[in-house]
Structure 1
Amino acid sequence: MESLSFSAASLLLAFATAVYVVGGAINRLFFSPVAKFPGPRLAALTFWYEFYYDVVRNGRYTWKIEEMHEKYGPIVRINPYELHVNDPEFYDEIYVGPSRRTEKWSWSAKMFGTSLAAVGTTGHELHKLRRSALNPFFSKRSVTQLEPVIQENIDRLCTKLRGFAGTSTSVNLVDVFTCLSADVIGSYAFGQSYGFLEAPKFYPGWHKLMMDLSRSSHLMKQFGWLYSVMTLLPERLVSLLHPVTEQLFKLQNGIAKQVCDIQAGTQPSNAEEKAGSAPPHPTILHDLLQNSKLPSSELTVPRLKEEGFTLLGAGTVTTAWTLTTICYHILATPSILRRLRNELRGLYSSSDPSSSALSWQTLEHLPYLSAVVAEGLRLSYGVSHRLQRVSPDTALRLGDAIIPPGTPVSMTQMQIHLDSAIFPSPHTFAPERWLTPTPTSPPSTTTASVLGDTTLMKRFLVPFSRGSRMCVGMNLAYAEIYLTLGALFGPRGGVEMELYETSRRDVDVVHDFFNPAPAAGSRGVRVRIR
């Protein structure tokens, strides 16, 4: 009798499971709010389709989605709930400003485990509260005021690079710029450089750790509970398994200690003149704790620790990759290098002869340097992953298609930046495309092949995204890029570099780990210092 009861219970459980699976499949295929949109049936049925391309095949779903658009058109269903759009004109409908409530999709927002930081906040109102507290610190005015902090790190970088002159040692620019960006954000936001620039060979483990975390975001998105499991593991054990994470924990704990010290009044701002203990300027933690209008629930140590570390991570890899991409193309194309140096030389000749550095404000008005920066941002993409947004109250319309409220919708910046209708010869690094030729100086045949509508190109250059959730660190990134390029390629204090065993393969993006990544096996953009 007991055996019979157990068998009956097992059959009932199996039947219920089958009904649940079949019923769920029928609902997703035929009754879902997005059932009418085209796309692969398997993608509509299960997240395992996305898992295969992003986890098993190492960040290749972005390219599979591109194939879907070629087959199904400008709007496709790429998983059971999400629609992806490939129509640049629709960009501002998804990534909208404060005129409409916009949320993140909770399923994708968990990929970095940052629900307490502004960047991982899903709800519109809470995100607005958290983001409004960060905006003043990263405004263009604030960045300009703290420009000497950025320049100090860049000077340190140039000095160290020149130390390799005349040796056979090569340096990897992606490691160099990852260390620079980390030290800049550390100095700028937390009042202390982390000393990565002083590390031997520019501490390649830091970039590897950042990219390992980025790569694991695909797995974490599928299995968000893994973050909870990892937080239960002792830091000492994790550090033994992955030694570089010891530095990560050190940074996180340092931010937490800073919060506690500020709250306790033991770490003054620079207004409290305590020699040897005050940071060189008020940090973002001072700003949030002392000047913001955030409620006390938003000023807890765990939340501010997560906010601070997220700013460090976000401000490191993307800027480093952009600088790496730009430097590769400058060094790989003598005509670009020559024209850039001539422009910088002309500016230096009219500047203060006692100064070796030029300001961000001066550099950003240089036409050719600005064109080089724009082209570098276009081909480094910002992030390679699609950015999901939800319009919770308003239906979106694309042609005759109506997207129901509450539907996760995404676009991919990389696809826009490589759209040949906007950017002719999109894979060519051509600063000239951003310079409108004068009537007396018609473009050459080569230049003409890349010329487009500069107004249209500027509209769709979106490496920082757009709308109320665009990258908060945009101004800091621009300042760092302009000041670094001005220092490296300017005639005073510049660094003579040449590529070493490096090709276009080392900057072409073939993996989407949220952050762009080149082909597996790439050894990076390596240079020797002359």
Structure 2
Amino acid sequence: MSYFVLAHTTQSTGSFLTACLLVFYISITVLYRLYWHPLAKIPGQKLACASGLVEFYHDIVLRGNYVKAFPSLHAKYGPVIRIAPDKVHIRDTEFWHEVHCSGTKWHKDPAHYSSIGGVGRSLATEVEVELHRQKRLLVRRFFSAQYITSIEPAVLSIVHRAMNKAAKSHAEGSPFNISALFSRITADSITQVLFGKTKEKMCGGEDAGEVIVSTLDLFSRSFLLTKHFPRLAGMLLNLPKRVASYLLPGYIGFRRQVETWIDEVEAQHRDGKLGGDKGSLSLLDLLIQPELGRDDNHLDVEIGLAPENKRALVDEVLAYYIAGTHSSSVTMSLAIYYLLSNPTKLQKLQYELDGLPSNQDGLLEFKSLSNHKAPYFNAILKETLRKASPVPGPLPRIVPVGGVNCYGYYLPAGVRVSTSIRLVHDDPSIFPEPQQFLPERWLDAGVHMLERHQVAFSKGTRVCIGMNLAWMEMALCLANFVRRFDMSLYKTDECTTAWRDCAIMVLDKPVQVSVEKIRCSFGSARTVHCIHDTLVLRRPN
């Protein structure tokens, strides 16, 4: 009997000591972070300085809301604040340019970019400067202005098909999800760049191609989960397919689809063929066989995308899809929302677009939408990008060797410092009334200063490689939709278009519209003029 009492007492004593040690460890850690940590003098919320609970709460519980809290935190604590025990955020537009300029010594934070969204070390998240340069050199031909111009007919065809779907919804008298329609357009466009063919040829039919869009939204919403639990993505990939798909369906489902596509292209390579349509070179061909581009680009570094490194290949393709699909579709969705919420601006835009020449199919081409020919339309796009900020949240960088002094605070080398595009675009000293949708600001004499601070695509060596593609597809899509249709919002208001920072901007709910009237019809006309309510067709002689 005494033996069991002694054993129980010993066990209880051990549990008590363990609990005491745990409390002691937590207490010492909190005290260290608050008073002795190298960042102890940086102001901020005490709980955020002591633990990562505040960041976790905003990311996971509030689903990507931390960047929205930054303006009030900076107003309270100043331009330099501590947002986590080892993280600092700085609100200073000129400092943003210093960090993101060409040749910057502020390198990407490996802990953040190697895990976010489960896309590994893709071009967008690569932290090694030389490796990033080599990867960019390898694929830059597919994002050059010359290449983007060459695929304009394919993009116009994609837009044309989407407009026919909108016209069908009008004929049926039913509203539709224009955000989803825009996602299909951008997914089709990036598929053309990646694989050199349309999604119908990739998926065996238009309906089957919906897998691209249907899982991307779930996938993007998984970003914050894998950010805080970076090993989760790798663990899920090693689980049985059914279990992994149940736990994180968007991520696992789309990843496995991409693996299938890569296998198909690799099979073509074994047969001595390239993956693009009619045997043309595609971006994926270069990712699988980098030697195809080494001679032209003087590549001399192993970029880690050989066929045996399947995970790296999948990461790269996933990153292109996320960046090339979601960001552009969200921007276009918000553009439609802003325009339909501002009838005067919409009418002014339609009047400008009505006066532009169209092609033989009645569609506006990219050359007709230049800033010189369509200044108000370009102002609409620029203002939407300012308001939308496709990547709104913190972009962590590492303080370079030697440390820096900022606003009287010393930041030692190795500290994780971030800035946010959202706060640059909301700087009232540069963009007066930043919360208002004011495209007219881009038509004023001081537009050159504004354009310097339009950083939706970032700047420097890390500028978005897909900028030309994104701008073209947004221009072609928005211009033709607005010119052809009179639309109204359906069950969509300011509340439903609230956004979250999931590494990229994600809308709470999609933008839905009803087509009230078709302003212009497609046909064999060489030019189509839509002047208010009158449709004038000029047929060839």
Structure 1 and Structure 2 fold alike (TM over 0.5): yes
Q: Which runs of 5+ in 2 are unaligned?
A: 518-541
Residues 1:9 and 1:238: Cα distance change in structure 2 (over 3 Å): closer
- Please, which of 403, 415, 427 is the counterpart of residue 419 of structure 1? 427
For 1:380-419, list aligned pairs within 5 A: 380-419=388-427
Moved more, 243-252 or 368-377: 243-252
Moved more, 499-508 or 365-374: 499-508
SS in 2 for 1:504: coil
CA contact (8 A) 1:255 1:305 kept: no
Please, what TM-score do these two structures have when normalized by structure 2?
A: 0.83
- Please, which of 217, 224, 230 is the counterpart of residue 218 of structure 1? 224
Looking at structure 2, the residues matched to 243 and 220 of structure 1 have their Cα atoms a distance apart, in angstroms, of: 13
Moved more, 251-260 or 282-291: 251-260
- Please, which of 515, 527, 530 is the counterpart of residue 528 of structure 1? 515
Looking at structure 1, the residues matched to 204 and 406 of structure 2 have their Cα atoms a distance apart, in angstroms, of: 48
Q: Percent identity?
A: 27
For 1:420-499, list aligned pairs within 5 A: 420-436=428-444, 453-490=446-483, 494-499=484-489
> Is 1:356 aligned with 2:343?
no
CA contact (8 A) 1:96 1:466 kept: yes
Post-superposition CA distance 1:385-436 (Å, at most 9, x none): 2111113435334333332221111112122222222212222212111112
- Please, which of 330, 344, 353 is the counterpart of residue 339 of structure 2? 330
Structure 2 match to 1:264: 270
Structure 1 match to 2:353: 344
SS in 1 for 2:170: coil
Please, what TM-score do these two structures have when normalized by structure 1?
A: 0.85
Residues 1:335 and 1:517: Cα distance change in structure 2 (over 3 Å): same
For 1:187-336, list aligned pairs within 5 A: 187-195=192-200, 209-239=215-245, 248-249=254-255, 251-261=257-267, 263-268=269-274, 278=278, 281-288=280-287, 289=289, 290-292=292-294, 293=299, 294-295=301-302, 297-299=304-306, 300-336=309-345
Q: CA deviation at 1:153?
A: 1.2
Post-superposition CA distance 1:344-399 (Å, at most 9, x none): 22221xx6x63533432431322111101101111111123211111343533433
Instruction: State the AA in 2 paired with 1:295.
Output: E
Instruction: State the AA in 1 paired with 2:124.
Output: V
CA contact (8 A) 1:371 1:432 kept: yes
Looking at structure 2, the residues matched to 164 and 482 of structure 1 have their Cα atoms a distance apart, in angstroms, of: 23
Instruction: State the AA in 1 paired with 2:394.
Output: R
CA contact (8 A) 1:395 1:404 kept: yes
CA contact (8 A) 2:490 2:514 kept: yes
Structure 1 match to 2:148: 143
Q: CA deviation at 1:315?
A: 0.9
Residues 1:262 and 1:45: Cα distance change in structure 2 (over 3 Å): farther
SS in 1 for 2:396: strand
Post-superposition CA distance 1:451-482 (Å, at most 9, x none): xx423321211112223223221111111111
Instruction: State the AA in 2 paired with 1:285.
Output: L
Looking at structure 1, the residues matched to 116 and 129 of structure 2 have their Cα atoms a distance apart, in angstroms, of: 19
Looking at structure 1, the residues matched to 112 and 22 of structure 2 have their Cα atoms a distance apart, in angstroms, of: 24
SS in 2 for 1:347: coil
Structure 2 match to 1:274: none
CA contact (8 A) 2:425 2:454 kept: yes
Q: Which runs of 5+ in 1 are unaligned?
A: 271-276, 438-452
Looking at structure 2, the residues matched to 190 and 56 of structure 1 have their Cα atoms a distance apart, in angstroms, of: 38
Residues 1:23 and 1:237: Cα distance change in structure 2 (over 3 Å): closer
Looking at structure 2, the residues matched to 201 and 433 of structure 1 have their Cα atoms a distance apart, in angstroms, of: 43
Q: CA deviation at 1:73?
A: 0.4
CA contact (8 A) 1:174 1:207 kept: no
For 1:114-193, list aligned pairs within 5 A: 114-193=119-198
Residues 1:499 and 1:7: Cα distance change in structure 2 (over 3 Å): closer
Moved more, 383-392 or 34-43: 383-392
Structure 1 match to 2:523: none
Q: CA deviation at 1:515?
A: 2.8
Looking at structure 2, the residues matched to 14 and 183 of structure 1 have their Cα atoms a distance apart, in angstroms, of: 56
Q: CA deviation at 1:40?
A: 1.2
Q: CA deviation at 1:508?
A: 4.1
SS in 1 for 2:322: helix
Q: CA deviation at 1:25?
A: 2.3
Q: CA deviation at 1:146?
A: 2.3
> When the two structures are aligned, how many residues end up with a matched partner?
498
Instruction: State the AA in 1 paired with 2:440.
Output: E
Residues 1:262 and 1:129: Cα distance change in structure 2 (over 3 Å): farther
- Please, which of 113, 118, 125 is the counterpart of residue 113 of structure 1? 118
SS in 1 for 2:460: coil
Residues 1:364 and 1:52: Cα distance change in structure 2 (over 3 Å): same
SS in 1 for 2:433: coil
Instruction: State the AA in 2 paired with 1:43.
Output: A
